Structure 1
Amino acid sequence: MDEQVEYVGMPVEAAEELAAEQGWKIVRVLAPGELITLEYRTGRLNLAVRDGVVERCWEG
């Protein structure tokens, strides 16, 4: 199982804490429709959040 999948459905605050505990150096929280850069960054976890809940996550 991909370890990132466990973040989906979590409240954003809990997901950020868990990510830090798991060693993610950078956690980027993204609101719906937010513009983002597409450069890949090792050690960054992206969390797409709607209404305070993680809907999607990916590395980079």
Structure 2
Amino acid sequence: MASIPTPPAQPDDAPDSYVGLTAVEAERIARERGWTTVRALPPGAIITLEFLQGRLNFEVENDTVIRCWLG
């Protein structure tokens, strides 16, 4: 029987710390902290709601992160 895969570790990080940063700066810091997937979305973007371990989402308006969440 095959073993159950273990999801990759997720960085211990505070999403609120990215709010107010530029999109470029926020992505750079997120990758330095170990996030494997970082996505920037415009306000009101239609997205799927699946949770992806290791992903950090930014809502960006006028090149500034206004919201950040995991998954």
| 3-state SS of paired residue (1:46) | strand
CA RMSD of aligned residues (A): 1.0
Residue 48 of structure 1 deviates from its aligned partner by 0.5
What is the letter of the counterpart of residue 27 of structure 2? E
Instruction: Kindly name which structure, 1 or 2, has the bigger radius of gyration based on alpha carbons.
Output: 2
The structure that is strand-richer by fraction is: 1
Residue 38 of structure 1 aligns to a residue whose secondary structure is coil
With the length of structure 2 as denominator, give the TM-score of the two structures. Answer: 0.79
- Unmatched tracts of structure 1, length 5 or more: none
Q: Which residue of 2 aligns with 1:31?
A: 42
The structure with the largest helix share of the pair is: 1
TM-score, length of structure 1 as denominator length: 0.93
Task: Name stretches of at least 5 consecutive residues in structure 2 with no aligned partner.
Answer: 1-12
Aligned to 2:22: 11
Alpha-carbon separation, structure 2, partners of 1:48 and 1:24? 16
Aligned length: 59
Percent of aligned pairs with the same amino acid: 49
